Each structure stands twice: as C-alpha cells, then as structure tokens.
C-alpha cells in the first residue's frame, strides 16, 4: 500500500516572550560580538562566504550546499509521510519535543489535510510521521488541536538515554506515606491548566529589575527564605499542611476536593522488620 503523504508548511506554534540580554564589556558597557574568522587566512569573513562542510579526514573536507540538501531524493522532502497511527498513551512523553502548526501547501493539499484532521479526531489516535526539515529527515507525532493539525518533533529511540544509572537506592515506604501522597494528589487534581499558578513569573521579575535600574533605584527585596533546620523535611507534615491549606481554600469559597490525611504514626527508630510487625490496620482512603 502506498504511504499517505500531505504537502505541508511547518509553522511555529509557540511564541518566546523571554527577555534577551546582550554580552557587554563591563568596564565600558560596549557590546561584545562574535566574529567569524577564517583560520587559514586569519581574517573575518562575511555570511555569504560561509557554508557547510563535512570532515572526511583531518586533511579533507567535502563542501555541501543547502540546495543539495533540499534536493535529496527523499519522499519527505516536500511533504509529510504518515508511517502509522497509534494510541497517544503508547508514546513515551520523553520522546515528544517542540510543537508546530501544520499548514496545507496550497489548495490541492487542503482536502487531504482536512481528511487527516477529521480522521485523527474521530479515531482518538495520533499519527506517527516522517518529514524533512533543516537538511535532516525527522520523526514526528501528529495530533488535532482545534481546527489545525499539530506536529510534535520526536526523538529517535537511540537518542533517549538509559536512566537506569540514575535510579535512587532502595528505600522503604509505609502505607501511610503512600496514602498521604495520594491524598495530596486528590487535593491538587485539576480539570485543566488554566490559572495564575500556571503562569511563569521569571520574565516579569526580570522586567521589574530592569525598570528599577532604569529609574536608578533599588529593586524590591526578595522574600525571605525560611531558616534551614538542618534536618530532612518531614514528608507527612508537608502533606498534612497542603491538605489543611486546601481545606481553608474550600471554606473560603473554593472548589477543591479535600480528603483527610491518614493518621501519622510516631517516628520509629527500630529496624524496618520490627516496625512492620507492629503496623496497625490502615484507614481506608476516601474515593476522589
């Protein structure tokens, strides 16, 4: 069966509102710039003189032009090629990268584009596709967002590092600790990601810093951090505090669902086996 292809344009789906800084020479605040210098001629070269080259050996470099890369005999050079349709839950999120909107390339591509969008929407699946971009063949995931198709760049399997070396050493958790974590999850469960708590504040803080500097005044002081106790944070105490805050929010008119925390036992210093033998029956968790 011939592969399904759709002629498309890739358009960025995100905007960067970060504050950008220049590199400067601190004594006189003059700009510090990067200059492109030819090692052989020891002179600065213009952008028009710069191209791509692949080093075959220390003595031989093969030049490759952008046009040669665009003319590679790839079926994905000017279109996106659907490879398969899979459930979204079958894709490890670590392989999903930046998102882009896909735009049909002309009237001819409008019908297959819309057909693919509606098929994805009705099937509740995502498409896995190959496409060429910036001189490379890439792997992507297609999903529906409103009336558009979104392309997420995907990492090839061999680009994912093995995390086994990062696994923490074995630890023992009590049922009460696990139930406490689940209770916290219940209080923090949301139906969406809308709200001030999902808004980044770093850029706003930098903007206030720059405004203070422009007006030759001291910026607002940072909030005082809690004193370090030198002891490990008690997870159960932190969970109980979070649940208490959620209860207060509900009493003030909020809508958070709150579940009582399991009763915390006194900290034991005896070995784990002895502690387990004395464990009392745990209180069943209320349903969410």
**83 and 175: one domain?**
no
CA angle 84, 113, 72 (to 5 degrees): 70
Residue 212 forms part of a structural domain: no
My answer on whether 101 and 153 are in the same domain is yes
Instruction: Please check whether residues 116 and 140 belong to one and the same domain.
Output: yes
Shared domain for 135 and 254, answered yes or no, is: no
Same domain, 127 and 10: yes
Residue 88 lies in a domain: yes
134 and 176 share one domain: no
Distance between first and last Cα of the chain: 48
Q: Which domain holds residue 256?
A: 171-191+235-265
The four Cα atoms 12, 85, 194, 241 give a dihedral, to 10 degrees, of: -130
Q: How far apart are CA 186 and CA 286, in angstroms?
A: 10
Position 41 scores a pLDDT of 93
Number of domains in the chain: 2
102 by Cβ neighbours in 10 Å (0-12 / 13-18 / 19+) ranks as buried
pLDDT at 28: 92
Distance, CA of 60 to CA of 75 (rounded, Å) = 31
What is the rounded distance in angstroms from the CA atom of residue 214 to the CA atom of residue 235? 44
Per-residue pLDDT of the chain (288 residues; tens, 9 = 90+): 555 666 666 666 666 777 888 899 999 989 998 989 999 999 999 999 999 998 988 888 898 888 777 666 665 555 678 888 889 888 888 888 888 888 887 787 788 888 888 888 888 889 888 887 766 778 889 999 888 888 898 888 888 888 888 888 888 888 888 888 888 788 878 787 787 776 777 777 778 888 888 888 887 777 665 554 444 445 556 566 666 666 666 566 555 444 454 554 444 444 444 444 444 444 444 444
Residues across the chain: 288
Same domain? For 145 and 247 the reply is no
Residue 208 domain flag: no
Query: In angstroms, rounded to a whole number, what is the distance separating the alpha carbons of residues 150 and 246?
Result: 36
Residue 145 domain flag: yes
Whole-number Å distance between alpha carbons of 43 and 269: 71
DSSP string, the chain: -PPEEE-EEEEE-----PPP---EETTTTEE-----EETTTTEE--GGG--EEEEEETTEEEEE-HHHHHTS--TTSSSEEEEEEE-GGGS-GGGEEEEEEEEESSGGGHHHHHHHHHHHHHHT-EEEEEEEETTEEEEEEEEEETTEEEEEEE--GGGSPPGGGGPPPP----HHHHHHHHHHHHHH--SS--SGGGS--HHHHHHHHHHHHHTT-PPPPPPPPPPP-SS---HHHHHHHHHHHHHHHHHTT------PPPPPPPPP-S-HHHHHHTPPPPPPPPP-
81, 136: one domain: yes
Residue 105 belongs to domain with CATH number? 2.40.290.10
List phi, psi (to 5°) of 145. Answer: -135, 110
Q: Report pLDDT for 44.
A: 94
| Residue 126 and residue 117 in contact, taking contact as beta carbons nearer than 8 Å | no
> Is 136 among the domain residues?
yes
Asked, for residue 107, whether it belongs to a domain, the answer is: yes
Last residue of a domain, one of 111, 132, 157: 157
pLDDT at site 252: 60
- Predicted confidence at residue 158, as pLDDT, reads 82
Which residue is listed with tokens 């030198």?
Answer: 230
Given a contact cutoff of 8 angstroms between Cβ atoms, the answer to whether 131 and 151 are in contact is yes
Asked whether residue 136 falls in the same domain as residue 239, the answer is no
Query: Is 148 found in the same domain as 10?
Result: yes
C-alpha 124/C-alpha 144 separation (Å) is 9
Residues 100 and 9 in one domain: yes
In a domain, 276, yes or no: no
Tokens of 147: 């009336």
Tell me, yes or no, whether 213 lies in a domain: no
Question: Domain end: 157, 182, 208, which one?
Answer: 157
Say yes or no: 140 and 178 in one domain.
no
């Amino acid at each position: 069966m011939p592969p399904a292809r759709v002629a498309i344009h890739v358009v960025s789906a995100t905007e960067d509102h970060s504050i950008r800084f220049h590199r400067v020479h601190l004594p006189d605040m003059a700009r510090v710039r990067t200059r492109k210098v030819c090692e052989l001629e020891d002179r600065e070269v213009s952008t028009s003189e710069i191209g791509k080259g692949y080093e075959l050996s220390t003595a031989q470099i093969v030049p490759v032009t952008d046009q040669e890369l665009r003319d590679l005999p790839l079926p994905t050079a000017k279109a996106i090629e659907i490879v398969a349709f899979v459930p979204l839950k079958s894709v490890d999120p670590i392989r999903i990268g930046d998102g882009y909107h896909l735009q049909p390339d002309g009237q001819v591509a409008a019908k297959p584009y819309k057909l693919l969008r509606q098929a994805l929407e009705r099937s509740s699946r995502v498409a896995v596709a190959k496409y060429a971009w910036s001189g490379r063949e890439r792997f992507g995931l297609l999903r529906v967002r409103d009336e558009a198709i979104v392309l997420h760049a995907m990492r090839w399997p061999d680009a994912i590092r093995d995390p086994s070396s990062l696994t923490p050493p074995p630890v023992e958790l009590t049922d009460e600790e696990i139930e406490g974590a689940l209770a916290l999850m219940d209080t923090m469960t949301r139906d969406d990601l809308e709200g001030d708590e999902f808004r980044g504040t770093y850029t706003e803080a930098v903007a206030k810093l720059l405004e203070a500097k422009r007006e030759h005044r001291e910026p607002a002081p940072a909030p005082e951090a809690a004193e370090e106790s030198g002891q490990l944070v008690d997870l159960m105490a932190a969970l109980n505090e979070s649940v208490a805050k959620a209860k207060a929010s509900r009493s003030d008119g909020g809508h958070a669902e709150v579940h009582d925390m399991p009763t915390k036992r006194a900290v034991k210093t005896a070995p784990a086996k002895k502690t387990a033998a004395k464990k009392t029956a745990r209180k069943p968790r209320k349903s969410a």
